Structure formats: C-alpha cells, structure tokens
A and B are shown apart, each in its own frame.
Chain A
Amino acid sequence: MKEYNSISASNQSGFTLLEILIAITLLAFITLGVVDITDNAAATKERTTAINENNLQIETAMSRFEWDFSQIYSPLYFSTVMNLNQGANIGNNGGDQGGDIAGVVAGSQSGTQQGNQGGAISPMLQQYYENLVQRFERNEHFSAVSKEGHPIPRFYAPEKNVFEFFTSSNRRKLENQKQSHFAWVRYALAEQQELSQDSDETESPNIPKSLKSFVRYFSSDDPYSDKRINIEDVERTKGAVLLRNVESLEFQYWDYQRRKWETSLRTIPQGENVIRGVRILITWYDSFGNKRSTKRTFRTHWPMVVPQDQPVANPNVAGAQGGTVAGTQDGADGGANER
C-alpha cells in the first residue's frame, strides 16, 4: 500500500510479476469458462440440427409419397369397365375373381346390369372401341379400357418393397411444354451409393453396411407406353433418393371389401386397378446410427365408393327402383352379397 502511494507519474513501476501472474490466472479461468460455454453451444446446435434433419428426411420422404399417391389415377375410381359383349360376359365370368377386372366388375354388377346393353352402336364405333380395347388390353401398363374409353392403368407390386402406380401428380416445369400431368412413378429400394467426399453430410460409423436407399423413380415421358418404366434409362426416368440406410420397406394395400391390409395387389379383388389405401412400414438407420422405424397410412383423394353402371329404368328389371341412387351405393355391400 505504501509503495503505491509513492508512485508518481514520472516514476511508474508498472505491475509486479505477482500481479500479472494473478491476473493471467484469473483471465485463464474466465476464458476457460467462456470457451466451455461456446463449445457446448456449438455442440448442441449441431446435435439439434442433426436431429431435426433426420426427422425432416423421413417426413420429406413420406410427404413425397403422399403427394404422388393421393393423386393416383384410374378411371375405375369413378367409372366402370367398357364391356363390348356384355351379354356373353355376365354369365361366364360371374364367379371369376382374382384380379381379372372384367370378371369382377361383371360379377358385382350382374344384379343390376342385365338389359343395359340394349342400345345399338354403329359398326364404325364398335370397330373403334374394339381397337381401343385391344390396344390397352393386357399390356404391361394397362389392362382394359373404361366405359368412356380411358385406359385403365395396372398398378404393379411384384415384391413387397416395390410399388409402381399411375399418378396425376406431374406438373409442367415450363409453360406450353407438351406434357400431361400423368406419370408413372415407382417407389422401391435400390443399391446405395457412398456419400461423396465433399458432402457435408456425415453418418455414424455404427451404421451397418449393405443397407439400401429408398428411391422414387418418376417417368412422365410417354405415360401411355405399354412398357414398364425402365429404371436403368436415366434419360427418361428420374431417380431420387428419399431416404438412406433403409433396412426394410414394406407396402401394404387396403382391401376395401374384406377390410384388411394385404401385402400383394393380386390377393385384392381389382387390386391391380383400384387401390384405396397404402400403408408403409419402413425401418432405417438415422445419421447417429440409431435404428428407427415408422408405420404410415395414406389415402387417395378419391371417394370411397365403388362406381356402378346405372340400371336402365325398365320396370321389368329387378332392382330398378333404386333408380338415381345406384351410383352412390357401396360396393362392399353389393360385392359381399354376390359372394
């Protein structure tokens, strides 16, 4: 204390070594604290971002599927199959089930349908319709023609983790581009590419090898082609990885009449042509190496009804009293009664 008092402007002795040491030590402690806090904050930020990104990844993948599936298209959601020689078909195919539309539709309609095809069509029109039916009958992408002459797409699920369907979710990127809003889209698992070196994504080393990627293949090129989309043809089919490190993927389809989920389209009556709902069961590893799984259900935008041909207002035909309301009648009901 005394020493301090004797300090004068001309004779400043500065801090002593002890003072400097104490000051530095104190500063060191404070700095340590501050560094610790900032470091912690950076780590937390990275972690929350990664968690959010992992959630975002699966949500984006699922909403992508929802966008396509909700706009799935088939004329059978609002119409029935064109049947040129209906009279002959009704008797023969009544009991035939298992995916053959003509059979199922004729079967489910036989109660109200008789006598519908009374009106004669001109030979030219008949010829035109026959050509149309032939063109879209039993090729890879279409199975028949609807009453209005629209081709009926054939949905495709050869394995439990592959689902290809016809959607109206395509949007033109450029004005006046020659493109319809129809496209074929396939969701499937594909071999996984390594992350590129300059990617800022990181993945935990604990993630098992030989996992696959959940990929969306989209082909808006020539939707009426009779060939399945070729995923090797990169020019015409765009593939986009929706989710990496997928361990298993399963599509299940809603059987509207029996009210249960099926893994195959073929076990559902008319399943290859009309799908009411899809459930996705997916198991994957997130970027931390945690195994996660989710189960989602998706609906179409179409109402849950089975369209039926209107019965002709003929007093001789049984069931004609229903008259104007037959269009809204529930097919589950009608179908169940048939069986």
Chain B
Amino acid sequence: MASKIKNEQGFSLLEVMIAITLFAFFVTAYLTGQGYNVEDSRLSEEQLVLQQLAERKINELIFDPPKFSNATADFKETKTFEESEFKGYEYTMEIKKLTIPDFAQLFAQKGAATDEAQEANDGDYFAEGTKNQRNAALEKMVFEELKKNIERVIWQARVTITNKETKYNFTLSTFLTNHNERIQLNIGF
C-alpha cells in the first residue's frame, strides 16, 4: 500500500511532456490540413484566371491572325495585360511554321527497290519490284505535294500566360490557317 501511495504523487515531467507533445501534434496536423484547403482554393482561383486569359488570347489569335510571311515565322512577343485587374499577368505569343520531316526520313527504304531487283525485273512491267518502285515514286510525289501545301497553309501558335509574381503559368496552343494561301495540287504523271 505504501508503495502505491508513493506512486500517486501526480504526473511526472515526462508524462506531462508526452501529453503536451501529443496535443501539439494533433493541433498542428489540424491546422496544416486547413492550410492546404485554403491554398488549394487559392490555386484553383489562380488557375481559372490563367485559363480564362489564355483562352481569350488564343481566340483573339484565331479570329484575327497576323499576316503570315517569312517575317512572322519565329514570331515571339511578351506583353503585360493592359486591364488594371490583370496588371500582374503577362502573355507570351509565339507563332511558328509547321515543318514536316522529309519523305526519306519518315519512310526510309520502304518500297524502294534495290538495284539488283531492278535489274532482275527490268522490262517486266507487272513484276513485284517495278511495281514497288512505281508506288514509291507516286507516294513520294503525293507526299511532297501535301507537305508543301500544309507547310504553306497551316501555322502553329502558342500562348503562355504567366503570373509575374508567383510565376504560375498556363499554356495553350493551336493551329492557325493562312486563309490567303490556296491549296495547290499539281500532281502530274
């Protein structure tokens, strides 16, 4: 009995410290969780603004594209929004030519007849080798025509909106059509 009484002399320093630590731990966890909520909400608001500005800028580009010329290729400009509420945001507009790899790079060796095969089939119009050869030539011709037209008519554009303070940014890209160019197909045999 005496020993029991001796033990009931109140909490030891260690016990009190553990209790306080536990309490502090839970309070901190609680507050941090709450902090994340607030931060998330702020971020989502930020994203709405960035997205809205990006959509507006890209639409303006589509509605009113610049004059396409060689000077427009690699066009890049960064400007700050003029409206007072968006003073803290800047936009970067980039316009580039669309380049398509060469036929040889895309379809290397496909259907190309070797010299030996060509010799073996020489004179035989319907032989497999000469047929492949003809197809390859036709494919190449059509591809070159398409490539030429696409590269003239279709351009690529990209808009990036950046919050100058936080550096958060949002990017949208699109293809622009050069309405002043006509599609020209000159496939002759």
**Which A residues are closer than 8 A to B by beta carbons?**
4-5, 7-9, 30, 37, 40-41, 44-45, 48, 51-52, 55, 59, 254, 256, 259, 276-277, 294-299, 303-305, 322, 324-325, 328-330, 332-333
Set B45, B55, B62: member contacting A55, Cβ < 8 A? B45
User: Which of B27-35, B70-78, B112-120, B161-169 lies at the interface?
Assistant: B27-35
**Cβ A48 vs Cβ B182 within 8 A:** no
Q: B62 to chain A: which residues have CB within 8 Å?
A: 299, 304
**Cβ B30 vs Cβ A37 within 8 A:** yes
| Nearest-Cβ distance from residue A331 to partner chain B, whole angstroms | 8
Q: Does B64 contact A (CB under 8 A)?
A: yes
Q: Does B38 contact A (CB under 8 A)?
A: yes
**Chain B contact residues, majority secondary structure:** helix
**Cβ B52 vs Cβ A296 within 8 A:** yes
Q: B48 to chain A: which residues have CB within 8 Å?
A: 55, 59
Would you list 10 pairs from A and B whose C-beta atoms are within 8 A, ordered by A residue? Answer: A5-B5, A8-B5, A44-B34, A52-B41, A59-B48, A256-B63, A277-B63, A296-B56, A330-B180, A333-B179
Interface residues of B in 1-30 (CB under 8 A from A): 1, 5-6, 8-9, 23, 27, 30
**Cβ A37 vs Cβ B182 within 8 A:** no
**Cβ A44 vs Cβ B38 within 8 A:** yes
B 173-186 to A, binary, CB cutoff 8 A, 1 in contact else 0: 00001011011110
Q: Does B135 contact A (CB under 8 A)?
A: no
Q: A254 to chain B: which residues have CB within 8 Å?
A: 63
Set B59, B179, B185: member contacting A297, Cβ < 8 A? B59
| Nearest-Cβ distance from residue A253 to partner chain B, whole angstroms | 11
Q: A41 to chain B: which residues have CB within 8 Å?
A: 30, 34
**Cβ B177 vs Cβ A48 within 8 A:** no
If A305-B179, A325-B184, A330-B179 touch, does A45 touch B37 (CB 8 Å cutoff)? yes
Q: B6 to chain A: which residues have CB within 8 Å?
A: 5
If A297-B55, A325-B183 touch, does A51 touch B63 (CB 8 Å cutoff)? no
Q: B183 to chain A: which residues have CB within 8 Å?
A: 325, 328
For A294, give the chain B residue with the smallest CB separation.
Answer: B52
